[in-house]
């Protein structure tokens, strides 16, 4: 092929799981199906610059690349990206003919305790697919996005849910046609209007690096005494959400979403070894949210990912009142008073 060098750029958002992925099999195959809201404002923008290595050079089995993150060359980011390249190479053998420069930046502060692996890995996977498309122009859109999600999954499981909006399912589920363990798909059923512009205000309780990586956490589900029941619960919660999304029953939605968040952390607290990622301020915020819901009847709820930060979810019509509540009562629990306003989004974009 005649392509000698070039550059592609994608932005991809983060996502927040409502039904959590926690536990995996070989090759990043999830132990249970999960479902997430794609976000809008928390995103990574990645440019992939590529140059063909000399025809005479022996093609190495390892991809050569540099990483530039927010203007600075980052050696510390290389191992994760090297692992990603290694895992995707069997599916993208053309990569061997190039050397790369990965230039990346996040819309959210690096040390915010917001994981950038979902947005980062999906943006990079999309860049790889754009290179693939320039080498094989006949690739169709459906294949392009499915394979992008498939590749992103190999970088970080939850990243496969960041390619598309606005609700994404990853993992086989008997009531969701075409759902797959290999990649995320857009939620195929009708969703009530109230969910279409749902808000996510992220309260940054702890901006430090988490003490236990999600890789370690997933692995602790092997041999976990409650694993089988937990995996079944995720299937059941997804089934229960189908009519809830359709009819907009927010009270029922809240019960499932909060239970999922607490179950995720209950799994961490009951693994061997056990660990604890919530902080006192996480719990203070949860109690405040419950109080607020009780006294105002606003259908606001929380979810958590693998950290101390709290994602507060609510309908857009309650935005003003909830942001007042944040300013008056919740910022005191946030590190340096920091929080991020986000909402449900449409997925990745080529720039
Ligand atoms: O994609 P990973 O391996 O970082 O795992 C993410 C796990 C959770 O964020 C806790 C849950 C989820 O489904 O996103």
Per-domain residue ranges for the chain?
5-191, 194-343
| Contact in structure between 4 and 52 (CB atoms under 8 Å) | yes
pLDDT in tens, 253-298: 999 999 999 999 999 999 999 999 999 999 999 999 999 999 999 9
| Contact in structure between 182 and 153 (CB atoms under 8 Å) | yes
Could you write out the DSSP letters of every residue in 279-313? -HHHHHHHHHHHHHHHHH----EEEE-SSS-EEEE
DSSP state of 189: S
Query: Omega before 236 cis (within 30°)?
Result: no
The CATH number of 5-191 is 3.30.230.10
For residue 15, give the H/E element and its range.
strand 5-19
pLDDT in tens, 84-107: 999 999 999 999 999 999 999 999
DSSP state of 271: S
Ligand 1: residue whose CA is nearest its atom 4: 214
Distance 197 CA to ligand 1 centre (A): 23
Pairing of the two strands 64-69 and 98-106 = parallel
Distance 23 CA to ligand 1 centre (A): 9
**Token digits of residue 23:** 């536990």
**Which of 15, 21, 28 is the best mutation target for the ligand 1 pocket, counting ligand atoms within 8 Å of the beta carbon and taking the most?**
21
Residues 6+ apart with CB under 8 A from 107: 41, 42, 43, 44, 45
| Contact in structure between 286 and 302 (CB atoms under 8 Å) | yes
Residues with CB under 6 A from ligand 1: 17, 20-22, 34, 117, 156-158, 214, 218, 264, 305-306
For residue 324, give the H/E element and its range.
helix 319-325
| Contact in structure between 214 and 118 (CB atoms under 8 Å) | no
| CA angle 65–42–89, rounded 5-degree value | 30
Query: Domain 194-343 in CATH: superfamily?
Result: GHMP kinase, C-terminal domain (3.30.70.890)
Tell how many helices (H) and how many strands (E) occur in the chain.
9, 14
Instruction: Please give the pLDDT value at position 108.
Output: 87
| Contact in structure between 13 and 345 (CB atoms under 8 Å) | yes
Atom of ligand 1 nearest to the CA of 19: 13
Instruction: Please give the pLDDT value at position 239.
Output: 98
DSSP state of 176: S
Q: How far apart are CA 219 and CA 213, in angstroms?
A: 10
Identify the three-state secondary structure at position 26.
helix
Distance 264 CA to ligand 1 centre (A): 10
| Contact in structure between 81 and 121 (CB atoms under 8 Å) | no
Distance 204 CA to ligand 1 centre (A): 17
pLDDT in tens, 180-192: 999 999 999 999 9
| Contact in structure between 8 and 346 (CB atoms under 8 Å) | no
Q: Which residues of the chain have pLDDT under 70?
A: 1, 54-60, 111-113
DSSP bridge pairs for 311: 202, 303
Atom of ligand 1 nearest to the CA of 156: 1
Rounded to the nearest angstrom, the gap between the alpha carbon of residue 269 and the centroid of all alpha carbons in its chain is: 22
Instruction: Please give the pLDDT value at position 226.
Output: 98
**Which of 12, 15, 17 is the best mutation target for the ligand 1 pocket, counting ligand atoms within 8 Å of the beta carbon and taking the most?**
17
Atom of ligand 1 nearest to the CA of 213: 4
Distance 209 CA to ligand 1 centre (A): 15
| Contact in structure between 12 and 168 (CB atoms under 8 Å) | no
Residues 6+ apart with CB under 8 A from 225: 270
């Amino acid at each position: 092929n005649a392509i000698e060098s070039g550059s592609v750029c994608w932005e991809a958002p983060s996502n927040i799981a409502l039904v959590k992925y926690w536990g995996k099999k070989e090759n990043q195959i999830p132990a249970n199906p999960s479902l997430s809201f794609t976000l809008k404002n928390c995103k990574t923008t990645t440019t992939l610059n590529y140059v063909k290595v000399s025809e005479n050079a022996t093609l190495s089995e390892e991809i050569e690349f540099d990483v530039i993150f927010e203007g600075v060359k980052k050696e510390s980011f290389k191992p994760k990206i090297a692992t990603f390249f290694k895992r995707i190479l069997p599916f993208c053998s053309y990569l061997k003919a190039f050397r790369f420069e990965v230039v990346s930046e996040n819309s959210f502060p690096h040390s915010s305790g917001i994981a950038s692996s979902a947005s980062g890995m999906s943006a990079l996977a999309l860049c790889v697919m754009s290179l693939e498309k320039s080498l094989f122009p006949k690739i169709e859109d459906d294949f392009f996005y499915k394979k992008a999600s498939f590749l992103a999954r190999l970088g970080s499981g939850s990243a496969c849910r960041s390619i598309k909006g606005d609700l994404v399912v990853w993992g086989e589920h008997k009531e969701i046609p075409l759902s797959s363990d290999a990649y995320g798909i857009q939620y195929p059923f009708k969703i009530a209007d109230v969910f279409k512009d749902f808000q996510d205000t992220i309260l940054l309780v702890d901006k430090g690096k988490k003490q236990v990586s999600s890789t370690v956490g997933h692995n602790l589900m092997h041999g976990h005494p409650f694993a089988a029941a937990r995996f079944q619960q995720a299937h059941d919660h997804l089934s229960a959400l189908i009519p809830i999304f359709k009819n907009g029953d927010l009270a029922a939605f809240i019960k499932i979403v909060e239970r999922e968040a607490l179950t995720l952390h209950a799994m961490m607290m009951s693994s061997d070894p056990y660990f604890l990622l919530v902080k006192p301020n996480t719990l203070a915020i949860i109690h405040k949210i419950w109080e607020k819901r009780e006294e105002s009847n606003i259908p606001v709820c929380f979810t958590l990912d693998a950290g101390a930060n709290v994602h507060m979810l609510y309908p857009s019509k309650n935005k003003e009142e909830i942001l007042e509540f944040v300013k008056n009562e919740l910022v005191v629990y946030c590190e340096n008073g920091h929080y991020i306003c986000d909402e449900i989004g449409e997925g990745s974009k080529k720039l």
